[in-house]
Amino acid sequence: MGRHALRRGGPAAVVSSLALAVVAASVVVLSEGGGSAEATEADTTAITLVDPGSTTPRTDRPYVAGDTGFLHRQTGKAGLLWTDYTTGRTVTVENAAGVYTPGTGCTGIGSECRTAWYGSDSDLVALPTALSTPSVTLWDPATATSESLSWAVSSHGNYRGLAGDTVVTGYSLIDKADGAWRTRKVTGEWTNIQDQEVVAADSDGVLWERSGTVDYIDVESAVNAVAFADADDADHYVMSDDRVGWYDTSTFTLHLKSRSDLTAADRVVTLPSHPGTLDGDPVLVGDWLLLPLSSTSLGSRLLAVNVDDPSVQQTLLESAGEYTLAAGDGTALVTGGADATDWWVRRVSQAGDGTLNLAKVQQSPAVENAKTGIALSRGSLRVAEDDPKSTDDTTSVRTLTTDGSAMLTASEATAGRSVYSALCPYEGTTCSALWGNLDAQDVYLDSNGGTDEGEGLGDDRLVAIDGHYLDFGGQGGHIVDVSDDYAVFDSGGTSPAQYVGEFGQGQKLKRSVRAAALNGSTLWSAGTAGKLTSYSIPLAKTLTTVTVPGLACVPSELQAAGRWVYWACGTDSAGVYDTKAGTARAVTPGDVLLGDGFTVRHDHGADTLVLTEAATGTTRTIASRLADKGLTADRRYRWTVDEYTGLVAWFDDYERTHVTTTGIAPSAVTAFDTSVGDYVAPGAPFEGTWVLSRPATSWSLTFISLQSGANGKATRTLTGGATAAWVTATWNGKTASGSYFPNGHYTWTLKATGPGTATPDTVTAGQGFLQGGAPVRRDFVSPDGPDGRGDLLTLNSSGGLTLHSGTGTGKFGDRYTGTGWPTSIMAVPFGDLSGDRCNDVLVRYSSGALRLYKPRCGAAVKPTTSYTTLGTSGWTQYNVLTSPGDVSGDGRPDLIARNASTGAVYLYKGTSTGKLAARVKLYDNWKGYKKIVGTGDITGDGKADLLVQDTSNNVYRYNGKGDGTFAARVKVLSNWGGSYNAVVGVGDITDDGRPDLVSRDSSGNVWRNSGDGKGSFGARVRIATGWSGYKSLM
C-alpha cells in the first residue's frame, strides 16, 4: 500500500481536554546547496563557489521525510533545518523561545535519537522539550507557526513520537478531526509505550518493541496488534509502505510480514554475509534492503540487497553516510557522494521494473574555513581565508565569465599568495580586507615589518599582491581607494595627510585629507559644498569642477565607476552623480559600494545586500543570509562589487562564496593594440594578442576561409570569457570538429561583449594565409605547394600532362609536367578521394580502363604516380567526364559522365574507400549539349554546380542541390563561346573566393571569365595566347 491520504475518521474516541498554545515561529532563510544556481532577480544569475577546508563531508542527518520537504540537521549549524524538496529553500526551526535546541531525546547530530522523535511521513514537526513529558510543540513549515499541546499524563502517558500528523503517547493517539484536537486510547493488545520503544512510524502505523515482542498500532483504527512475538534477536527494525520486519545482524536474517496480515507467519530471508559492520539502520525500499556499511578496507558505502533473491546486490553509493531514513511513500532518504563537495541527501526509490533509482534531493555544503577578505575586479575574484596552521591568511583566485545578466561561470580556484600581517579597517575584528586591482594584483594594507596578524609593528604599507607596494610612512592610516594600479591613502597620526600613488612608480600627490575616489587615473575629490573636482594624475592637472544636484554638503565619502560618482554626507544623505548627463539621484547611505550604474548597500539589520539602479532609482535585494559579524561596515571583508563587470560577491554564513550578476551594463569594446601572425601551417598555428579598451564578459574570434573546401567555406569561432584587458588566441587551422580549413586565404574578425550588453562589438579584423590544410577544388601545385588557387591541367601532343599553377591574379604561372602519357588519355582533375589531403586525378585510357592517380601535394602527375584502378574497361562509352566537386553532400568528390551514344548522364559518387560507387542516372539524353562543365560552387550556397553549352551557344546553369541531384536549368549566357574548343571550371584563380571559367578559342587564345559568386560571370579577359599546341585543357 502506498502512502495513504491522512485519515481522521474511524472509531469514536474519547476526547480529552487539551491545553493549547499557538505561537508564530520565526524562520531563518538559508541559501541553496553549494554549486547550484540560485533564483534571483529576472535576467540575473548567481552561483555558489565552494572551497572546502576539510576533505570530510559535512554530516547531514535526516530526521523526517515529509510530503513537501524534510527535517534534518547539519554539523556546524545550530538547531534543526527544514528544506523544501522543490525549491531547496531551507529554514531554521524556531519555537517561541527562538532557535529550537534539541533536547535529551536527540541531543547531538551523532546521538542515538528516538525514532519518530521529531516526526515521520508528514510536514508536521514535533519539538519535544524532554524525554518524558505529557506535552509537545508542533511546528508547521508551511505557515512557520507553532502549536503547543499538553495532556494528562495519567490518562495518556508521555510523548513518544509523531506518526504523520498523529501524536503518539504511552497509551493514546492524538490528532485532529474536523479541525479539532482529539485523543484516542489505543485498544487491542495492551499498550504502554515507554522511552525508546518506538522503532518505526509513518502516517499509517507505529511499530514498537518490548522484550522481544514487536507490536504494530494501526493509526486509523487505533488498534494495537502483535506483529512478531519472538524477535529477541532483533538488532534493527524495518517498515516500508507494505511490510514490517526485523533484522538479526549476527545471522544476517531478515524477518518480514505484510502490514495487511500480521497474523501470517514470518517470511525469513537469509542475506549473504557482507564485509564490514552495519553503520546505521537498514531501510526497506520496495524489494530491496538498504544497508549502510563500513569497513577498514572499503570505507563507508550503501549496499542494496534484493530480498526476493539475496544473491542480487548492488552498491548504490561507494561513499555514504551512516544515517538512513524510511519515508512513508516507500522510498528512503540517505546521504553520500563522491567527496565533500559532492555530498547530497538523496532519495532511493524502486522503479516499476524493480530497479532502484537514486536521486539528489539537497546538497550538504562542505565545511569551509572562515573568510577574511574579498576582492573582485575585471572579473578576477580573490578570496582570503583564515589558515588554521598560520597567522597569515591564504588566498585563492578565480576568473569569472559573465555576460552581465543570465550567464555566469567560474574557473577552478587557484592558490594565490598569502596575506601577511594585514591591518583590518574595522574595529573589533581581524580581517584581510582587499581592494581589487589590475591583473589581479589586489591590494591590502599591512604593517611593514610586522610579524603578528593585525599587530601593526611597522609603518603602514599598501601591498599589491604579486606586484609592488606603496609605503608613505607612519601608522594608523587606511586605504581610501584603489583603481588600475593607482591608490589613495589617508595616513594616521597627529598630522594626517592624503597620499596618491601609483604602484611601481611611487607617490604622485600629497595633500590634506578629503573625500576622494579613483576611476583609473582620474582622481575625484570633494572641495567645497555641492561641488566635485576631477583631476588627471598622469597629466597633473584639473579636468573639471562640477556642481552636483542635491549635494548640499562637503561629502565625507566618494566612489567612482564608469561615468558615475557616488557621494555621501555621513549617514544623513547620499547620491549618485551621472557625469555624462549632469544629473544625480539620491540613494540610501551606509555600507555602500558603487558599480558602473548601480550601488550596493549592506543592510546589516536584515543581513541582505540591496542594489539600487543609478539610472532609475529602482531597488532590489540581491543577496541574503550574510553572516552577522556585529559590524556597521564590512565591505571588502565580507562582500564586494566589481565596478567593471557589474558582478557582486559575498560570503554567507556557511562561509561559501556567492557571486551574482546585476544586469546593469557599461559601454563598447575596441582594441588598443593588435599583434597577430598572418601565416598558418601544420606546426605553425595562428597566434594573436589584443589589448581591449575595457573588460569583456566574452569574446569571439571567427575565422572564415576565402576558398571552399569539400564542404564549402569553412568557419571556426574561438570563444573566451571574461577578461580584464587581454585577449590571446591560438588557432590550429581547423574547424571546431577537427576538420582542416581549406588552403589559401582566410579572414579573421574579433568581437567582444562588454558586461551587461547582449550584442557583441566588432573590435578589429584582418586576414592571413593557410597552407597544409584541406585541398581546394583543382588546387594541386604552386612553388610552395597547394595554395588555395585553382590550377589548369593540359595534355600536349608529346604526352606531357602539365599542371599550370594559378597565380591569384587571374592567370597561370609555374608549370609542373609529367611526361610519358599516351596522348589518347582523358584526364579529369578530381578532389581528394584518397584522403591524403592532396587532390587526385582521374585518367581514362583508350582501353576503357579508369585509374585514380594520387600525386603528392605540389607534385606533377606522372604515369609512375601511385594509383588505384577504378575500372579495367567500359569507360570509353563516355564522351564527357567532369567533376563539379561534391554533388551528393557527403564531403567527397563525385564524377559526372555522359554516354556518347545515348546522351544519358550519370553520377558516380566518391566513396570512403577511395573508389566510385555504382552509377546513378540523372538525365536520359543530354546529346543537345556540346559541353558539360563541372564548375564547383558558383552560386555561393556551398553546393557543386554544372554549366552546359548547347549547340546554339546558350549557356545554362544546373544548381546542385547537395543530395546528388540538380535543380532545373537556368539560362546564364546567350551566344557565348561559339569559338571555344575548351571550357574549364578551373576554380578560383583571382583570389576572391569565387570560381572562375577558363576557355580556349580556336586561335589558341586563353580567356578568363571571373565568377561573380552568384551563378554568373563577368566579361572575358584574355590571359594567354599560343595555346593551340595543347591537345586538351582540363
Is the distance from CB of 892 to CB of 830 less than 8 angstroms?
Answer: no
Pairing of strands 657-660, 726-731: unpaired
How far apart are alpha carbons 545 and 758 in whole angstroms?
34
Strand intervals (E) in 211-331: 213-218, 223-228, 236-239, 243-248, 253-258, 267-270, 277-278, 283-285, 288-295, 299-306, 313-317, 325-326
Predicted confidence at residue 936, as pLDDT, reads 94
In this predicted structure, the answer to whether residue 3 has a pLDDT above a threshold of 80 is no
CA angle 520, 534, 522 (to 5 degrees): 10
Q: Which residues contact 605 (CB under 8 A, 6 or more apart)?
A: none
What is the grid cell recorded at 53?
577546508
* Phi, psi angles (nearest 5°) of residue 731: -130, 135
Q: What is the pLDDT of residues 125-177, one digit of tens each?
A: 999 999 999 999 999 999 999 999 999 999 999 999 999 999 999 999 999 99
Q: What is the pLDDT of residue 449?
A: 52
Residue 17 has pLDDT above 50, yes or no: no
Q: Please provide the average confidence, as pLDDT, over all residues in the chain.
A: 92
* 692 close to 645: Cβ distance less than 8 angstroms: no
**The pLDDT value given to residue 550:** 96
| Residue 573, pLDDT score | 97
Lowest-pLDDT choice from 169-173, 456-460, 497-501, 529-533: 456-460
Q: 981 with 925: CB under 8 angstroms?
A: no
- The answer for residues whose C-beta is within 8 angstroms of residue 380's C-beta and 6 or more apart is 397, 398, 399, 400, 436, 439, 440, 442, 724
Per-residue pLDDT tens digits for 419-452: 998 999 999 999 999 999 988 999 999 987 543 3
Burial class (CB in 10 A: 0-12, 13-18, 19+), 441: buried
Beta-strand pair 712-720/698-709: antiparallel
Contact at 8 Å (CB) between 934 and 985?
yes
pLDDT band at residue 756 using 50, 70 and 90 as cut-offs: low
| 447-496 tens-digit pLDDT | 875 433 344 457 899 999 999 999 998 899 999 999 988 999 999 999 99
Amino acid making up residue 493: G
Chain centroid offset of residue 691 CA: 26
Q: What are phi and psi of 379, to 5 degrees?
A: 85, 0
Question: Tell me: the pLDDT tens digits for 926-983?
Answer: 999 999 999 999 999 999 999 999 999 999 999 999 999 999 999 999 999 999 999 9
Q: Which of 442, 577, 300, 848 is nearest to 586 (CA)?
A: 577
Give the max Cα distance, the chain. Answer: 127
Residues of 780-815 as b/e, b for ≥16 C-beta within 10 angstroms? bbbeebbbbbbbbbbbbeebbbbbbbbbbebbbeee
- For the chain, list the domains and their CATH numbers: 371-660 (2.40.128.630), 671-708+718-759 (2.60.40), 792-1033 (2.115.10.10)
pLDDT tens-digit readout, 785-805: 899 999 999 999 999 999 999
3-state secondary structure of 299: strand
What does the DSSP 8-state code read for residue 1003? Answer: T
Strand runs labelled E in 296-352: 299-306, 313-317, 325-326, 332-337, 343-350
Cell numbers given for 933: 562543365
Regarding predicted confidence, which is higher, 256 or 104? Answer: 256
